[in-house]
Amino acid sequence: MRRSDLVRETTRRGVIDRGAALSLVAEHVLDDALADGALVRLFPGVYTLPSLAGDIGVRRRGALSYLDTGALSHLDALDVWGFLPDPVDAGSPIHVTTDRAVPFSDWPAVDHHRRRGFVADPPIVVIRSGMPVVRLEQAIIESWMLLSDINRRVPAIVALRERRTTAARLLGTLKAQPRARGAAEIRRVCTLVAAGCHSPLELWARRRGLPRRAGSTGA
């Protein structure tokens, strides 16, 4: 097959790994396509079109192709779930979690997290937007300290308020990782939301001992 077939298949997939590319064309065709800029390298052995290289969805699929036993986690998982309050930085590394047995990757375009016993299958992982993603509760907890101080409570508050999760599920996930950064504050937020606080402003007031405004319904 010709370079045009390789480009066409990459366009269809968004990303293509070296094995899939070499099933279509000879090695010199792939290498020439990379040398000429028809394809660009996203991750070792993972390629895309230059026009797609900045697309966050393509970059996430590329990271998952590179660390193919992993799942999106942390801020990327929170974004896929629809609860990321800060704007997505399209150039930031993609967060992927794998089992600890997977050799650590220091490739700059990926933030590789490793967890003992991690398997990218249910119930630890679900499929959203066609990609394996850690569960919402896990994404909230592991993103807590990665968000700005003003926004880090927002995902938990909104997810609880919209009944996308429960305090019991969040606390159960937290119990399995008691050394998680921000654990004490997460417990406090769950307690306050269960007591009727439904906005960051209310939580701020309660943390400082201020009385709740009469008739307050939250954000």
- pLDDT digit string (tens) for 97-118? 999 999 999 999 999 999 999 9
Tell me how many degrees the CA angle 60-64-66 measures, rounded to the nearest 5: 115
Global model pTM greater than 0.85 = yes
Closest to 3 in 3D by CA, of 19, 25, 23: 25
- pLDDT digit string (tens) for 6-42? 999 999 999 999 999 999 999 999 999 999 999 999 9
Give CA–CA dist 106/93, Å, rounded: 11
49 and 39 Cβ atoms separated by less than 8 Å:
yes
Environment class of 202 (CB within 10 Å of its CB; exposed 0-12, middle 13-18, buried 19+): buried
Q: What band does 216 get if pLDDT is binned at 50, 70 and 90?
A: very low
Give CA–CA dist 191/207, Å, rounded: 12
Checking if the pLDDT of 214 tops 50, the result is: no
Checking if the pLDDT of 215 tops 60, the result is: no
What pLDDT does residue 22 have? 97
What pLDDT does residue 217 have? 39
Checking if the pLDDT of 205 tops 60, the result is: no
Give CA–CA dist 173/158, Å, rounded: 17
Checking if the pLDDT of 141 tops 80, the result is: yes
The answer to whether the Cα torsion of 90, 85, 164, 97 is positive or negative is positive
95 and 106 Cβ atoms separated by less than 8 Å:
no
**Count, residues in the chain:** 219
Q: Give the domain ranges of the chain.
A: 3-52, 55-134, 136-213
Token output for 158: 């909104």
Average pLDDT value over all residues in the chain: 89
Q: What band does 78 get if pLDDT is binned at 50, 70 and 90?
A: very high
Q: What is the largest CA-CA distance in the chain?
A: 72
What pLDDT does residue 177 have? 87
DSSP summary character for residue 211: P
Cis status of the peptide bond prior to 123, with omega within 30 of 0? yes
